[in-house]
Structure 1
Amino acid sequence: MMTSLMTQARLLQKYSKCFRDIPQHYVRNVTRTLATHSTTYKALVSKSTNIHKNLAFEQYLYSTIDFHHTNLLFLWRNDPCVVIGRHQNPWVECNIGFLQEHNIALARRHSGGGTVYHDNGNLNCTFFTARNGYNRKRNLNLLVEAITKSWDIDLTVNERDDIILDGLYKISGTAAKLDKTKGYHHCTLLFNVQADTLQEALSATHIGCKSKATASFPARIANLADADNTITYEALIASVAEQFLAQNRENQVYSAEWVDPGSIEGCKDINKIQEDLQKWEWVFGKTPPFHIHRQFRKDFKGYSSHVQIHLDIKAEIVCGLVEKIQINMKGFDSKNIEEFIRVLHQECIGLQFRKHTLEYKLNELLNTSHMYDADMEIGNWIMSCILDNVQ
């Protein structure tokens, strides 16, 4: 059943009491306030749409607050980005070339789980609790109840802790981080995400890669707006925040607080966490070891006879660096090519497994190889085959 625009307006009016823009002095002390209250439920909404800033703030909240007496809900959304789990392989999980071409950020989070695409049509919900209060099923059921109370939508929670629309389509995926005393569970809520961009961004083109990294489980997705197009970001967070804050005692009245992570007292610490999250050594370098095995074949003309060359490429990547590369070529004998491959085996060791780094080194080796034109054609082909593994 479609909720009318008039009904949506009443919802926003009803939930407006759940929100307030925090005075600056309160913003600076929000984490201290959270840490000193008795058991309460509080909700924060980030003003930032920067994935690395929001992940940094999430990590800051987790590391600085004692959640034994506070349950905290952090609501946030991001500009277009892809977020991989802590133990995942970005070369396998997403289309890195597409991300770069469309200026879509790539981030690695601290929690486990699979890869997700975010944009402004997705709401992220992070539930912080003490370890003994961690219960993702309860959190997901709270979200389902919040949404279905406001909109006539069929939502269920499945055995994988996904929220499913109409029994078929995934609109939420879950991940978590736990230690001895506390933990957090965060999940997505797709309400109006760009589905075509999501599909392209998560359509990895890498083949011939073997890895023990955590793999994502593809699923059919949909938006909440597919079921009711009156659902907006503001109305959704209002509904979720009210449901969460309703768990407080009757004499405790709290509203969701809008926070700029760059303005609070701990912003220097947040900025440092953000810098670390943006480093290549974290995003790519934390990838579990993996190896690649690819085979190529090509016909070459311009020689005394027809030449068909078979190329076998093997590479081992550790911490995002080339630890070993081995190239075997059959079908053509050339001392220049053999020397190029020999030097390549040595010079590529220790390089970051990224396209422009390898391309620069391979071009340097080709330009100093003193090959004839015919050999140079084969050398360029070998280079293109290697770069095809990198995206």
Structure 2
Amino acid sequence: MLLIYNEKTNPYFNLAMEEYLLKNFNEDMFILWRNEPSIIIGKNQNTLSEINFEYVKEHSIPVVRRQSGGGAVFHDLGNINFTFIACNNNSFSDFRRFTQPIIDLLRTLNVHAEFSGRNDLLIDGKKFSGNAQYNYKNKVMHHGTLLFSSQITNLSNALKVKPIKFEGKGIKSVKSRVTNISNHLKFPMDILEFKDLIMDYLSKINLDNKFYFLTENDISKINKLIESKYRTWDWNFGNSPKYTLFNELKYPGGNVEFNVNVEKGSIVDIKFFGDFFGKKDISFIEDLLKGTEHNEISLKKSLSKININDYFLGSDINTVVTGIMGVK
């Protein structure tokens, strides 16, 4: 098995790296990596219904969709991610096999961890690791989080959805009580020491395991994948399952109810209701926005073609866009 100790912390790079290694190598692999503060969305999720849009925007937090299913997670530098890539493997959903080395390692530190439910690892009944898998041809990619010294408050703030209503087929994240591994150690250790310990443990449990370092060619191809996929709005937001968004907004000119139907990231139908005033018929804006991507930049571009005050008296573009995006 090839062991890769990745020091890059860019979430776009790291998610692209996983896909590149999965699809271009035919050896089993184990990879350790960390991300700067970011939200990683499951493949089958509606991105907007999983994130606190205002918090993410205010703190410029990258939102990146991964290849595997499961729920949304918040990453920061206090969290270690591990990835197993197993070739010639038909045991998809065998989460225990890939998480057992982590449980065994923690046992050497006198920390009792256990596998629980579908894909979690717990200490004292609290979650410190969530895991997901993705199948590609005859390979399985298993990856998981290891909360070591993560900022739990930031985690909950970034994923705390505002009281708006989304309906759709996207898989919802399940919120759990969480804990950091560092809180359970009998002696102090920083996260890089723990990361080194994991890799050292994996290198010794099988003498056939050997280290691999990404080449310049590897990095170049990963960077191309970032630009063509992982940094794009189409992948991270537009790839969401179709959904319906309901939102209500009160502004100085009255109350507005927003009803938005979105498919493949674009608005297919939108209706405005409320006690607001406007000298022109609101149906013009409803027709104008059909086909527009459901994101701030595209909405503002479309609405900049008109005088918004003619339709929503006392309003402006930012107010209307806020409502369409589901923000209170």
**Which TM-score applies when normalising by structure 1?**
0.75
Q: Work out whether 1:362 is the aligned partner of 2:303.
A: yes
Contact 1:191 1:225 in 2 (8 A): yes
Look up the match of 1:320: 265
Q: CA deviation at 1:319?
A: 1.3
Q: Work out whether 1:347 is the aligned partner of 2:288.
A: yes
Given candidates 67, 80, 87, the residue that maps to 2:37 is 80
Given candidates 190, 195, 216, the residue that maps to 1:232 is 190
Look up the match of 2:18: 58
Look up the match of 1:223: 180
**CA distance 1:50–1:186, shift in 2 (3 Å):** same
**CA distance 1:120–1:389, shift in 2 (3 Å):** same
Amino acid at match of 2:204: A
Q: Work out whether 1:147 is the aligned partner of 2:99.
A: no
Unmatched 5+ stretches in structure 2:
none
Q: CA deviation at 1:165?
A: 1.1
Q: CA deviation at 1:136?
A: 2.2
Contact 2:259 2:271 in 1 (8 A): yes
Look up the match of 1:122: 79
Bigger share in helix: 1
Task: Look at both structures and tell me which one has the larger radius of gyration over its CA atoms.
Answer: 1
Whole-angstrom distance in 2 between the partners of 1:274 and 1:381:
30
1:246-272 deviations in whole A, cap 9, x for unaligned? 3425xx4x5545x4x5x4323332111
Look up the match of 2:221: 269
Amino acid at match of 1:58: E
1:203-236 deviations in whole A, cap 9, x for unaligned? 1215121010111110011101111262322332
Q: CA deviation at 1:384?
A: 6.5
Amino acid at match of 2:166: C
**CA distance 1:188–1:50, shift in 2 (3 Å):** same
Whole-angstrom distance in 2 between the partners of 1:48 and 1:380:
39
Given candidates 13, 36, 59, the residue that maps to 1:102 is 59
Whole-angstrom distance in 2 between the partners of 1:377 and 1:60:
51
Whole-angstrom distance in 2 between the partners of 1:160 and 1:122:
21
Look up the match of 2:279: 336
Q: CA deviation at 1:273?
A: 1.0
Look up the match of 2:128: 171
Query: Residue 291 of structure 1: SS of its match in structure 2?
Result: strand
Contact 2:5 2:199 in 1 (8 A): no
Look up the match of 1:71: 28
**CA distance 1:348–1:139, shift in 2 (3 Å):** same
**Which TM-score applies when normalising by structure 2?**
0.89
Unmatched 5+ stretches in structure 1:
1-40, 301-308
Whole-angstrom distance in 1 between the partners of 2:114 and 2:90:
25
Query: Residue 132 of structure 1: SS of its match in structure 2?
Result: coil
Contact 1:75 1:124 in 2 (8 A): yes
Look up the match of 1:386: 323
Amino acid at match of 2:121: I
Contact 1:51 1:107 in 2 (8 A): yes
Contact 1:42 1:245 in 2 (8 A): no
CA RMSD between the two structures: 2.6
Look up the match of 1:291: 244
Whole-angstrom distance in 1 between the partners of 2:313 and 2:238:
33
Whole-angstrom distance in 2 between the partners of 1:132 and 1:87:
22
Q: CA deviation at 1:297?
A: 6.3
How many residues align? The count is 324
Whole-angstrom distance in 1 between the partners of 2:79 and 2:278:
57
1:140-164 deviations in whole A, cap 9, x for unaligned? 1110111221x22221111222110
1:33-70 deviations in whole A, cap 9, x for unaligned? xxxxxxxx23111121111111111111100112xxx3
Q: CA deviation at 1:126?
A: 0.4
